[in-house]
């Protein structure tokens, strides 16, 4: 594993975007949470103890998109024009896909990634009691494949 002790530059700063023109921007990010079959069934059937898992995750993702600059220090606060959050079920997983649109000077990839991450973490929180084994561990549960699927700039 590489170490960073040799790095001497301790600067951290936002990129200056003041001279950039406002344009429409869009980013789509997704990620997956792998769950036990029984948990996926409980989500589908609406029998999870904490309530509607996907509705809660959708709201959490939307809040996370809007709060991204408060969470990631060098992100610019930008006007969010739209957020969509969709879920699909695959073989042993739920995939969250978040699309963010804005009219501004900088992209919205970090907002989309944050939204997808928080949607997945919210799902985990909502179902963690069903995912734990007898020792309180999560042998089957994992979040992976969080990535930017697409970004667009301009009309």
Residues 146 and 115 sit within 8 Å (Cβ to Cβ): no
Q: Which of 10, 16, 86, 125 is catalytic?
A: 125
- Residue whose structure tokens are 């200056």: 16
How many CB atoms lie under 10 A from the CB of residue 77?
A: 12
Does residue 16 carry a catalytic annotation? no
If 0-12 CB within 10 Å is exposed, 13-18 middle and 19+ buried, where does residue 154 land?
exposed
For residues 97 and 149, the answer to whether their CB atoms sit within 8 Å is yes
Where in the sequence numbering do the catalytic residues fall? 125
């Amino acid at each position: 594993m590489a170490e960073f002790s040799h790095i001497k530059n301790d600067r951290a700063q936002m990129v200056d975007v003041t001279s950039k023109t406002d344009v429409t921007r869009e980013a789509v990010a997704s990620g997956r949470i792998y769950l036990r079959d029984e948990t996926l069934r409980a989500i589908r059937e609406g029998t999870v103890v904490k309530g509607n898992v996907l509705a809660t995750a959708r709201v959490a993702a939307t809040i996370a998109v809007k709060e991204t600059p408060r969470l990631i220090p060098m992100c610019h606060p930008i006007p969010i024009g739209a957020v969509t959050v969709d879920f699909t079920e695959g073989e042993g997983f739920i995939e969250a896909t978040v699309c963010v649109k804005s009219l501004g000077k900088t992209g919205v990839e970090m907002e989309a990634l944050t939204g997808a991450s928080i949607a997945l973490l919210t799902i985990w929180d909502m179902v963690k009691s069903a995912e734990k084994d007898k020792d309180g561990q999560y042998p089957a549960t994992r979040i992976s494949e969080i990535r930017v699927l697409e970004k667009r700039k301009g009309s």
